[in-house]
Amino acid sequence: MRVEEYRALREGAAVAERADRAQFRLHGRDPVRMVQGLITNDLAGAPAGRAVYAALLTPKGKMVAELRAFRLERPGGTEVLLDLPREALEGTREHLRKFVPPLFARWAEVSEDYRVLGVYGPRARAVLARVVGEVPPLEEDARVEVEGESGPLLVVGTRDFGEEGYDLFTPAGEAAALREALLESGAVPVGRETLETLRVEAGRPRYGAELSEEVIPQEAFEAIGLVPRAISFTKGCYTGQEVIVRLAHRGHVNRHLRGLLLGDAPAPAPGAPLFHPETGRPAGRVTSVAFSPRMGQTVALAYVRREVAPGGAVRVGAADGPEAGVAALPFGEAAPHAG
């Protein structure tokens, strides 16, 4: 991670090429109804100016993908755009092939047609205004379309990196010129390592790290307050709903996504096991690790068994390994070092 990139994202404006994202387009007779029956959130009931963040699930409630779904009105009719991590691309493709009948919707991967540029930081909107005109402050998942040189430019609010942010969906042929204009207007280019550091600081799960087909949504979302953003309990049926509703009304998950404060201990690898400091029993696993300038120490995201609450501790790597403090997410502005 470069210090100047981190500072730009925290104090100014940064622009990132989001090559880690992929997209699918659904169109035809009723694409909204087809997507509505597959995701945990209510696309059909979403206001026109909002995307929905949701999970795509197996019938057993495990996560195939996390995604944002956009209902777009186009001259040829209503379309749905799905934006998701590239790590979830193959699983989503197979899911659509299995569950979307061509009679009601046709779908195609359109990742080569789009580019996503992220503009993040407290001065992000000011930079955008110089390039695309005035954009209103957008809370997370709110969206607007502004007119680009060859059609609508979709602008979506995000908080994945703990600061005000906007994801711009632009035709692939316009991306280079748009990026150059953002840089000329004061944004600093940032790479994936810096984004990953801020994501970990913000306590946001990512598919391929915290999220996978081994994870039920509540395990990732409940303790960090993302259930209302990702799951509707009032919409109609969808694949995997029975597991989600049963957990919400009659049960609980055995582990939660938490933060770890590692101090100056060696950074563990993702997947490193965690152990209860008193009993020595398995207590979870590490998922993502980063050095946090904000916290002044190495921090991590981890799944931790529910009996180890924030304020407690775990051993990392072995029952007699280094001790790490367990923290609620997102990480606070300051905290004592572990150990």
Residue 212 lies in a domain: no
Range of the domain at 318: 254-339
Of 154, 176, 197, which residue sits at a domain end? 197
* C-alpha–C-alpha distance, residues 218 and 202, integer Å: 18
In a domain, 229, yes or no: no
What pLDDT score was predicted for residue 337? Answer: 39
**What total number of domains does the chain contain?**
2
- Spatial separation of the C-alpha atoms in residues 309 and 326, rounded to whole Å: 7
Of 289, 293, 232, the C-alpha closest to 265 is 289
297 Cβ neighbours under 8 A, 6+ residues apart: 261, 262, 263, 264, 291, 337, 338
Q: pLDDT at residue 338 above 50?
A: no
Q: Are residues 68 and 155 in the same domain?
A: yes
Q: How large is the average pLDDT for residues 297-316?
A: 97
Measured CA to CA, the distance from residue 303 to residue 305 in angstroms comes to: 7
Residue 222 within a domain: no
Band of pLDDT at residue 1, cut at 50, 70 and 90: confident
pLDDT-derived band at 148 (thresholds 50, 70, 90) equals low
Domain stops at, among 152, 177, 197: 197
CA distance 159 to 145: 19
148 and 264 co-located in one domain: no
pTM of the model: 0.94
Q: What is the pLDDT of residue 48?
A: 87
The reply to whether 143 and 16 lie within a common domain is: yes
Q: In this model, does residue 173 exceed pLDDT 60?
A: yes
SS3 50: strand
Q: Are residues 185 and 261 in the same domain?
A: no
Residues 6+ apart with CB under 8 A from 61: 216, 217, 240, 242, 243, 244, 247
Mean per-residue pLDDT, 280-290: 98
Residue 300 lies in a domain: yes
131 and 63 both lie in a single domain: yes
Q: pLDDT tens across 16-55, in order?
A: 999 999 999 999 999 999 999 999 999 999 998 999 999 9
Given a cut of 70, whether residue 11 has pLDDT beyond it is yes
Cα–chain center distance at 288: 14
CA distance to 194, 232, 291, 330, per residue, from 52 (Å): 26, 10, 31, 21
Same domain membership, residue 182 and residue 260: no
pLDDT classification of 167: cutoffs 50, 70, 90? very high
261 with 153, same domain: the answer is no
- Asked if residue 223 belongs to a domain, the reply is no
> What CATH number does residue 271 fall under?
2.40.30.110
- Cα dist from 58 to 62, 87, 118, 327, whole Å: 5, 16, 30, 30
Is the domain of 92 the same as that of 163?
yes
Which CATH number belongs to the domain containing residue 108 in this structure?
3.30.1360.120
pLDDT band at 206 (very low <50, low <70, confident <90, very high): very high
**What is residue 151's predicted lDDT score, i.e. its pLDDT?**
64
Look at residues 202, 169, 185 and name the one whose alpha carbon lies nearest to residue 124: 185
Is the residue at 230 inside a domain? Answer: no
**Which helix (DSSP H) or strand (DSSP E) does residue 222 occupy?**
none
Give the residue from 243, 240, 220, 242 showing the smallest Cα distance to 230.
Answer: 220
Tell me if 335 is assigned to some domain.
yes
Does 211 fall in a domain?
no
